[in-house]
Structure 1
Amino acid sequence: MALAFVFVLALLLAIGAIWLFVRAGKREREEEILLRLRAMGGDEAAYVMPVDSQLHNPLLRWACHLVWRTGTDMTADTVARIMLVIVALTVVSILVLGLFGGISTIALLLAFGWAWLNRQGALRRARIVEQLPAFIESVIRVLGAGNTLDEALAASARESTDPIRPLFLSISRQVRLGAPIESVLMETAEIHRLRDLKVLALAAAINRKYGGSLRNLLRSLIQAVRARDSATRELRALTAETRFSAFVLSIIPVGLMVYIFAQNPDYYRTMWFDGVGRWLLIGSVVLQVVGVLVIYRMMRSTEDPA
């Protein structure tokens, strides 16, 4: 009876997720049409950046930021639908594999998904930082012709390549729709974890309020970005052996567990059905996850320029 109730609940959750998927898709198309009608034409309409201030759910905001950092053009509604599908899959996995097996499988898939998205975001962020000095130099040249900062950013973005091109086209588009340029730059910096954009936002705010030479500030920013990039490359070269050792230490326990399970599956099954053995297995998994997270945090400064 309980199993039938859980199955019906899972089926209702799946139907609800499908209904929300269809409804959000229709709403997304309507919003896209409205945004295109509001836009003033040009390349800016080709890339739509969601508005972070409209996300009041902290979990949804975190998931959206994780996806947006990879450069994926996905609305918050789509991310919310994916999260609902994951919840439905969790219930189905628990029904098929049991409580421990279902939760473990979904947790493992989520961990791999998080790691992949985080890695893709770091690689994209590194490419943006690498392109940023040349982009700012182009902005300085356009400013020298008498244009404003938002016009200079838009003109330089149209001449740039991915991934910096869609990022600044989105910023330019939001500015053209009426948002303050310093607010848009700061919000984009928070989403993509780009400290240089925060400096650019502060420079724009100071220039708007007090005046002064914006080009001198941008030249100083170029020098700072290049100096940090050189220091980052040197640090990566000096810590290459340490990072490889950290990777080996992280992968060896998992490899040994897989090997033992392949050779003798009853070994872990016997431990799991024993009271003390079950706690030992749970403790070992927790310690392994904590160790990997600690090593990841230690090595993150050499992997991510931001």
Structure 2
Amino acid sequence: MNPWARRVIIALSVWLAAAMASPAAFAAASAPAPAALVVQDVDTSAYPVVRLHVSLPAELHAASGTPAFTLAENGSAVRDVDVEARTTKGEAEPAWVVLVIDTSGSMEGRPMADAKAAAAKLFDGLGADARVAVVAIGDEPRVLTGYTADRAALGSAIDGVYARGETALYDSLMRAAALAPVAASGEPRRSIVLLSDGGDTVSNASFDAAMKALQASGAGLYAVAIESDEYDPQALRLLAAGTGGRLLGVKDTATLSGLFEGIATEIAGGWTLTYTSARPGTKDLEVDITAESGGAAAAAAFAFPNPLFAGEVAGAEPVLPEVGEDPWRLLAVTALAFLSAAALGVGLLLIFVREPNTLAQLKYYDQLHADAGGDAGGMADQVRAKVVGAVGEVAGKRGMLEFVAERLEAAGLPLRPAEYITVHLLAVVGLGMVTELLAGSFALAILVVLVVTALPMVLLANAAERRRMRFEAQLPDVLSMMASSLRGGWGIGQAIGLVVQEAPAPSRDEFRRVDAESRLGMPLERSLQSMADRMRSTDFQAVVTAIAVQREVGGNLAEVLDVVSNTIREREGLRRQISALTADGRISAYILVGLPFVILAILLLVSPDYLEPLYTTLFGSAMLVLGVVLLFVGAVWMWRVTRIEV
């Protein structure tokens, strides 16, 4: 293993061990979280004055006195918070509640009977003036009754449901969110109570659509999940947290009645928190609330749309311009973004590409003057020449032309370095801007820029490697041809000329260049050494050394070339034998390294919520980092085992 890879593995291992062994990490993972309070409603009609209607869990209801509330907006503490106790058991300000009850086939039997009894407890606990609507979850959502205070109508609606069909959970939540209450007086107090024993199976709506609908309604979600083989606690937890609500798990349906009584108590007796917003320039306002009373604590974190951006505040100007409304502004912003990315890429190249020496600079200016003497051509040719010349001038002064030229020569591509750099830059900027304009996703555009930046260099390196392998495969036959020519009385120059005439590419092209350089006066040893450096072939380096020694001290060069040719053939035969013997190991390495990514892609397509604990929890993140480290170590290990130098 090379030193760089070893240092990376050691650093990752030490970091992971420190993170896993950190007392703070264990404390964070094991410390009990405070109970969740529920945000029933958010009133921004008098923005920047914001009113939050919250309900406290049962443990804080049992404590006497006014709870101590602390509030933060977008991470900044709010100093002045007005706290007012409120009750919804009265005509002045009744509670508005949507009960969403699961009636799928998995609820058949005792769970359905206990759910009906719990619903009755909820209706009684909310008070006689509470307005309640009921939505049934099945193959599709059904509104059993709209908002009503008629307990007989509610009881009849609940008694008439029976368990059958699938679970359209997200569709039902969107239907519940659409039931916006309208109160004759006072401010409506909105809440949604969900009872389900399974995850979504047949909804047309997605998780994200349900989350947006719930957040737009302003209602807090009490998600009561009956633990079963099918229920999805992670999705329900995220939905509840995103609306300022909470998730309550139930193992035995017999406890549903008591749980629903507690929920009714929370909804009926709440608190109103009033504060003045700092009017931050964000599209969402993120609020953190903590309540403490009698040694118990409850907290909630949620977000709601900023009225400045929603146009709810009269005369308010948007804090940030909507770039998407003006196509020219969008084009300008996109162009500036990708020009900045291109400038960053050029800056990195200027850092890592070595400073050219004086001779290289003279060669560069000599090439410019040589190119300037050509025909002017048409207008398009002149524009292209100016663009390529400007790119070549910037790149050549830092030695980038030489860097690119080496790789183009190794790949055997008949392109000038300045032309290649120009096409590459235009492709990166052009495809990135087209992706941004068509897809409207800056992250996707950045991904396209990175791919288009790296892919040509990878393909260039791959082409150079394949060309080198073809050259080394032809080398034994070329050496035998040269040895036969030397035995026939020809000189080394004539033998090279025969190779130029008879050998296939790329040997023919490389030896043609050596022959041309020799005819122009360059020493043969230097031309052959340049060819060896260009092809990066250790086998041909041995040939160059043999020729140089023979021309220095004399000897039978034909015999030397025969020996080198036989040695190369034997090494190639051994290399192929080793490749055949290690083929199963390489295939195993490809499968073991690629299989986790294939499974990850399948799970993301089939059930993306299943993977959320992997990157939303501390333990899941630690497992993810550990898996990546072990995958990297295993890949390096198997690569080293199957790679045998000959």
TM-score w.r.t. the length of structure 2 is: 0.35
1:197 maps to a residue whose letter is F
Change (3 A) 1:180 1:82: farther
C-alpha displacement of 1:231 = 0.6
> Paired residue for 1:205?
548
C-alpha displacement of 1:238 = 0.9
C-alpha displacement of 1:227 = 1.1
Change (3 A) 1:27 1:15: farther
2:465 aligned to 122, 138, 143, which one?
122
Q: 2 CA distance for matches of 1:88 and 1:170?
A: 36
Asked whether 1:98 is paired with 2:442, we answer yes
**Preserved contact between residue 183 and residue 201 of structure 1 (Cα < 8 Å):** no
Q: 1 CA distance for matches of 2:340 and 2:497?
A: 45
Asked whether 1:171 is paired with 2:514, we answer yes
Asked whether 1:194 is paired with 2:537, we answer yes
Change (3 A) 1:288 1:176: farther
C-alpha displacement of 1:262 = 2.0
CA offsets 1:35-81 (integer angstroms, 9 cap, x no match): xxxxxxxxxxxxxxxxxxx99737962x5444444432333223332
C-alpha displacement of 1:226 = 0.8
Higher mean displacement: 230-239 or 186-195: 186-195
> Paired residue for 1:74?
415
C-alpha displacement of 1:149 = 1.9
C-alpha displacement of 1:187 = 2.3
> Paired residue for 1:254?
597
**Preserved contact between residue 153 and residue 172 of structure 1 (Cα < 8 Å):** yes
**Preserved contact between residue 64 and residue 79 of structure 1 (Cα < 8 Å):** no
Structure 1 portions without partners, runs of 5+: 17-25, 34-53
Q: 2 CA distance for matches of 1:287 and 1:89?
A: 39
1:98 maps to a residue whose letter is F
Q: 1 CA distance for matches of 2:561 and 2:397?
A: 32
> Paired residue for 2:570?
227
C-alpha displacement of 1:206 = 2.0
C-alpha displacement of 1:221 = 0.8
Q: 1 CA distance for matches of 2:339 and 2:455?
A: 28
Change (3 A) 1:109 1:145: same
Change (3 A) 1:235 1:157: same
2:414 alignment partner, SS class: coil
**Preserved contact between residue 539 and residue 568 of structure 2 (Cα < 8 Å):** yes
Q: 2 CA distance for matches of 1:55 and 1:216?
A: 47
Higher mean displacement: 174-183 or 88-97: 88-97
1:243 aligned to 586, 606, 610, which one?
586
Q: 1 CA distance for matches of 2:397 and 2:641?
A: 31
1:162 maps to a residue whose letter is A
**Preserved contact between residue 585 and residue 638 of structure 2 (Cα < 8 Å):** no
**Preserved contact between residue 14 and residue 85 of structure 1 (Cα < 8 Å):** no
**Preserved contact between residue 65 and residue 192 of structure 1 (Cα < 8 Å):** no
More strand by share: 2
CA offsets 1:151-191 (integer angstroms, 9 cap, x no match): 31122221112232222222222222232222222222222
**Preserved contact between residue 157 and residue 168 of structure 1 (Cα < 8 Å):** yes
**Preserved contact between residue 207 and residue 213 of structure 1 (Cα < 8 Å):** yes
CA offsets 1:114-171 (integer angstroms, 9 cap, x no match): 5544444333333222221111111112223443323311222211122322222222
**Preserved contact between residue 431 and residue 449 of structure 2 (Cα < 8 Å):** yes
> Paired residue for 2:253?
none
> Paired residue for 1:57?
399
Q: 2 CA distance for matches of 1:234 and 1:193?
A: 23
1:187 alignment partner, SS class: helix
C-alpha displacement of 1:194 = 0.9
1:85 aligned to 416, 420, 426, which one?
426
Bigger RCO of structures 1 and 2 (CA < 8 A, at least 6 apart)? 1
Q: 1 CA distance for matches of 2:630 and 2:402?
A: 28
**Preserved contact between residue 60 and residue 79 of structure 1 (Cα < 8 Å):** no
Change (3 A) 1:186 1:266: farther
1:263 aligned to 606, 615, 628, which one?
606
1:230 maps to a residue whose letter is G
More helix by share: 1
> Paired residue for 1:19?
none
2:554 maps to a residue whose letter is G
Change (3 A) 1:120 1:253: farther
> Paired residue for 1:182?
525
Aligned length: 272
1:57 maps to a residue whose letter is G
**Preserved contact between residue 186 and residue 197 of structure 1 (Cα < 8 Å):** no
Change (3 A) 1:216 1:256: same
Structure 2 portions without partners, runs of 5+: 1-319, 324-328, 344-366, 375-395
> Paired residue for 2:334?
7
C-alpha displacement of 1:239 = 0.6
Change (3 A) 1:275 1:179: farther
Asked whether 1:152 is paired with 2:479, we answer no
TM-score w.r.t. the length of structure 1 is: 0.67
**Preserved contact between residue 401 and residue 417 of structure 2 (Cα < 8 Å):** no
**Preserved contact between residue 405 and residue 417 of structure 2 (Cα < 8 Å):** yes
1:139 maps to a residue whose letter is M
Q: 1 CA distance for matches of 2:593 and 2:337?
A: 36
> Paired residue for 2:557?
214
Question: Root-mean-square deviation (CA), in Å?
Answer: 4.4
